[in-house]
Amino acid sequence: MRRLFLLLLLANGLLFLWNWFGANDDGAAQRAAEIRSQPRGGRQLVLLSELNPPTEKDEEPPPAAQRPTRRTAAAPAPGREPAAPAGAKSSSPPAPRPVERPAAASARENCHVLGPFANASEVQRLLARVESTPAVVERRWSSPHQKPGYWVHIPPADSSSEARAVLRRLSSLGGGSDIQLITSGGMRHAISLGIFSTPEKARRRMEEVQRLGFEVAINEVQIRKRQYWLALRGSRGKGLSRRLMDNLLKGYEGVKVERRPCSRLYR
């Protein structure tokens, strides 16, 4: 009985050793096969057929850093706008040329645009008045302008000597200090009596010379000149009253006031 027990114990030990070494050999063989199937660098090769193709739901767009950037064409440099024709008329002050806007002016602030002034000296006189008020000069500019005028003249004489004789006679009768003999062009030998801004003024001048016994005519002409504009705003964002504007413009004929956003002066 004792021998049978020892025999069974020995058989169990041999079976245990057989299973132990046999399992290790199979694992070593499997690891060796895996090593032989791997390329240099240690990454395992996987067949495409072994992969499960992703569905549309699983696909994700590439990260932002890898997405193709869309190139946009650079905007063309702003060119100068075509000038208005000489005969064009506008009911509002012309916009000044675009310049960089001062940081002090708020985008919501309103400006008072004053004009047109006939010359730069009128603007200088107004600026002297502005210095004693809370108004601040936002911008000043000038623009070309063409308007109708009325030329009063004595029609051309037949010769230069005849025209000079008429001029001497007119001067002796007190025909005015603005008379001038035209010596060239289509109106050669005519005598200019002045150019006036309104038909009424031209007609008064014509009647004045006619009473002296001269033949007088009126022609409508185009007068080219520059107009001057001034934009004011209140200091520290405060508005300017209508009373202040009226006091500033006392003595200025034909000068109007128009309110507009200050930002529009720089577009």
pLDDT tens digits for range 206-251: 999 999 999 999 999 999 989 999 999 998 778 899 999 999 999 9
pLDDT at residue number 243: 94
- Dihedral sign, Cα of residue 247, residue 253, residue 256, residue 262: negative
pLDDT at residue number 156: 97
pLDDT at residue number 260: 92
Q: CATH for 148-224?
A: 3.30.70.1070
Report residue 197 as tokens: 């801004």
Q: 102 or 163: whose pLDDT is higher?
A: 163
The predicted model gives 191-199 an average pLDDT of 95
What are the sequence ranges of the domains in the chain? 110-144+225-266, 148-224
pLDDT tens digits for range 118-169: 999 999 999 999 999 999 999 999 999 998 999 999 999 999 999 999 999 9
Q: Do the beta carbons of residue 140 and residue 152 sit within 8 Å? A: no
Residue type at 67 in one-letter notation: R
pLDDT at residue number 40: 52
One DSSP character per residue, 119-180 reads SHHHHHHHHHHHTTSSEEEEEEEEEEEEEEEEEEEEPPPSSHHHHHHHHHHHHHTT--S--E
Q: Do the beta carbons of residue 262 and residue 124 sit within 8 Å? A: no
Q: Can you point out the beta strands (E) in the chain?
A: 110-117, 135-154, 180-181, 191-196, 217-234, 256-261
CA end-to-end distance (rounded Å), the chain: 118
Q: CATH for 110-144+225-266?
A: 3.30.70.260
Checking if the pLDDT of 171 tops 80, the result is yes
